[in-house]
Amino acid sequence: MQTLLLWLFYISSFYAFIPGLITRIFGFRVFRRGTGNHEFALTFDDGPDPVYTPMLLDLLKQYEMKATFFLVGSHAEKYPDVVRRIYAEGHLIGIHNYIHKSNWLMRPKTVRMQLKRTDDIIYEMTGEHPTYYRPPWGIVNLFDFAKNSGYRIVLWSSMFGDWRTKTGSDKLAMRMLRKLKAGEVMLLHDCGNTMGANPEAPAQMLIALEQVLEEAKRKNLRSIRIDDMIKQERKSKNAQVSIVKRIVVSLWLLWEKAFHLMFRLETVSPKDPMLHFRARAYQGKAVILEDGSRLEKGDQVLELHFDNKKLFHIGSRSRSEMQLAIQMIRAVQKDLPTLANMVLERPEYVDVKGLYGVTMISRGPEQFGFQVQDLPSGWFASSTRIYLKVLLSVIHPKGQSRLKQGSQLLEPKMLIMPVDVLIERYAEKHNRHYRVTESDNVVEEHELTDLPISSASQGLSS
């Protein structure tokens, strides 16, 4: 018997208590507070009521405020005209189950049936499916917690005991005025016909609410719908991300300057920098090049690096991956002939066997004459993978979302171009200057899609 009771305790905790605790304390997978300078949210549960809800709508209309109503399906079924008025006057309608019963006391199938039935009722009256849901008493079970219902769960940041008449309008108004500030999600009730509530309680709530709305007007605060508050919150988060991103970019560019000084990188075109390079001894495993020659450890190479500042500016101006790719093609094509001439003219590069870099692509650079090789596994490959993913998330137009697409593409690769190929294709002195034509910019779409990934590799390594 004790074992059975223990198992019942574990199951009930896993099914109901723990999900409820996590959502209430940490706000995980629920919305309960917004952001903004002048907006708060009034939300009303348990309606509609044939007497108090119309009075509430009159009050909201008088003060030009919008609210969110979480309707009990069985109540909505009885008073369709009130539901239609809520919708017609621009308020948001959400679901509060078909009957006012805790989700802890219902099976997942029963909860889904309640949601579906209430959804159908609201859709029949308004022509719009609700997308927001507040479980009775804000109590969720494991299946609500797992977001398998398809509705966004909305809780609250403040409630006031307005379902009891003994609270009184004065005490209720005092409690609400203390919480009257931007971002607050207030829980109130426009119906007293549910278990534990007093039928006349909404009358006291309306008296208190009028005082609150008057004070809100004086403070230049306004009540908005929950969906509008959620949109504001997203915009605010995006703005915060932008600030963080600018800080990251500034620090990254500062590091790039230090890196260039430490390793004495040269710039191909100082007036419009795109490619940087340095001569160094190749330290990797031997590689057989396409012309049959071998690149051995200790051979001289020019290690290439893209200009991060240029990449960031191109990425921030580009509206799509396609546009970014085309701009990158043009920038690289512009620098390679200059680099080829530098190799021919400067005696310190006479022993250079090729160009070398590290990137995160599997297709794309071949059109420039590079060959792509797997980067040998090890510490260098691991650290380079982390570095390039962070850089890609900053520079790429889609940011972090691009890292989640095709993870097999996001592996560091070596790019190698034999020096003879560089001179053959790009050097002016050999009369084989590789000229950009319209057809050069017409490449396969999959190449353009991948090219920004190669572009986002300062290391072509660093």
Residues annotated as part of the active site? 45, 189
Q: Comparing C-alpha atoms, which of 197, 194, 233, 196 is closest to residue 30?
A: 233
Q: Comparing C-alpha atoms, which of 453, 369, 370, 371 is closest to residue 406?
A: 453
Whether the upstream peptide bond of residue 48 has omega within 30° of 0, thus cis, is yes
CB under 8 A, 24+ apart: contacts of 194-199: 194/46, 194/72, 194/100, 194/136, 194/163, 195/100, 196/163, 197/46, 197/163, 197/164, 198/163, 198/164, 198/165, 198/166
Nearest 5°: CA angle at 164, between 162 and 170?
60
Residue labelled with tokens 């057989």 = 288
Q: Give me the sign of the Cα torsion angle 94, 214, 171, 201.
A: negative
292 CB contacts (<8 Å, ≥6 apart)? none
Residue labelled with tokens 């396409």 = 290
Secondary element (H or E) of residue 153: strand 152-153
- CA-CA distance, 447 to 228, in Å (whole number)? 40
Measured CA to CA in angstroms, residue 3 lies from 11, 15, 104, 146 at distances of 12, 18, 22, 28
Q: How many CB atoms lie within 10 A of CB 227?
A: 17
